[in-house]
Structure 1
Amino acid sequence: MTTDDTPEDAGGEDTPTERTKEELRKTRERLGEGADKAVKGFDDNVVDLLAWLLDTETRARIYVYLREHPESTSDEVADGTGLYPSTVREALAELHDEETVSRGKREADGAGNNPYEYEAIAPSKLVRGVVGDVQAELNTVFNLDRRLGGESTEGDDEPVQISVAGNEDDHGDEGRSDDEDERDERERRDDE
């Protein structure tokens, strides 16, 4: 090899630096593929969990879309999720009735109808609502079990209490802490 020869001219052998660069490139590709699979798996698991919380995958997809794109109309949700507009309108009406999404009229200049725009509640509020339902069902089961077992009905108030700590930064709980909510709940029970 003369001083004018390049490494490619030297019989096709790669230099240690070139081999290292190639190994790094291949490693990056493998890591990228693995990260993509992990993110897709995580996203699928989140949608599955939300489908359980919200009863259907359709409602879960709408919820996720509205968390990412607040103040969207039903047509925007349909376009963004790939769902039929009629399906989206029906699901949004149900979610609004259940207070999982809020809606307000979009202000538009000019004549014509102002469509509703929707926004999903914070995930912590969604979980709290489900936890409340689960807690009520567990209390019913435990109280029924006590009564069938011949135990006294005293103390049947709430043998099971589930609390959820959450960050209310995204569309909070009017600045109230969990401690304040728990104190109010205890006072309400004491008054009964």
Structure 2
Amino acid sequence: MTTDDSDDDSGDDPAFDAADGPASTADDESPTERTREELRKTKERLGESADKAVKGFDDNIVDLLSWLLDTETRARIYVFLRDNPNSTSDEVADGTGLYPSTVREALAELHDEGTVDRDKREASGAGNNPYEYEAIAPSELVQGVVGDVQRELNAVFNLDRRLGGESPDGDTEPVQISVDSDDEDEKRSDEADEADDGEEDGTKSDR
């Protein structure tokens, strides 16, 4: 009886798959390597979600400021200056992606309206020093438009009165909008704390 030396004993080789050829090395990764890969993928997904959330937040802020400042261009300039005070017009253009001429025109308008302040940049040497711009605080921006918004809301409130032919001089003003500054908020908070302390002292003294 003879033996056939040509018998295929590849089935005994764990690195060989008769159907698919050599086994994939992907399954040979250690648990630690697989965990690191999963963490990397998760981190990427979280980063993408965070970027989308930030972009959505920024877009919403710009939309709101566009209503306050008349145009999206002026809104984007305002947001950039709040984040990057003391920037020149060229720096604003680079940071916002707007045309330099558009930025210069908008900055001039915003400065005339008092929405941004400007000063000459201090630099050593000869030559013209450019203006540096800084946007006013959001609380100041809101205070600047409160009067207009209040008048418009009261005009809507008195619409029926006006349609009835009565004089606008007889309009009532039920809508009153007030904006507290940071100092007033802190003062109110301090007064509330003092009141709480007084109540605690009174409670203790009664015991």
TM-score, normalised to structure 2, is 0.64
- The answer on 1:131 being equivalent to 2:146 is yes
| Partner of residue 82, structure 1 | 97
| Partner of residue 71, structure 2 | 56
| Partner of residue 65, structure 1 | 80
Output the CA distance in 2 between the equivalents of 1:92 and 1:27: 43
Q: 1:179 offset after TM fit, Å?
A: 10
Output the CA distance in 1 between the equivalents of 2:68 and 2:26: 64
| Partner of residue 118, structure 1 | 133
After the TM superposition, which parts of structure 1 deviate over 6 Å for at least 4 consecutive aligned residues? 150-155
Output the CA distance in 2 between the equivalents of 1:145 and 1:125: 33
Quick check: which has more Rg, 1 or 2? 2
| Partner of residue 29, structure 1 | 44
- The answer on 1:97 being equivalent to 2:112 is yes
Output the CA distance in 2 between the equivalents of 1:19 and 1:110: 59
Output the CA distance in 2 between the equivalents of 1:34 and 1:16: 27
Q: 1:143 offset after TM fit, Å?
A: 4.3
CA RMSD, Structure 1 to Structure 2 (Å): 3.2
Q: 1:96 offset after TM fit, Å?
A: 1.1
- Give the aligned residue type for 1:53: L
3-state DSSP class of the match of 2:27? coil
Output the CA distance in 1 between the equivalents of 2:122 and 2:35: 59
- The answer on 1:107 being equivalent to 2:132 is no
Over the matched positions of the two proteins, sequence identity in percent amounts to: 80
Alignment length, in residue pairs? 163
- Give the aligned residue type for 2:100: P
Gap runs ≥5 in structure 1 = 1-9, 169-174, 181-192
Specify which structure has the bigger relative contact order, considering alpha-carbon pairs within 8 angstroms and separated by 6 or more residues.
1
Q: 1:75 offset after TM fit, Å?
A: 2.1
Output aligned runs, 1:10-21, within 5 Å.
12-21=27-36
TM-score, normalised to structure 1, is 0.68
Higher helix share: 2
Q: 1:26 offset after TM fit, Å?
A: 2.4
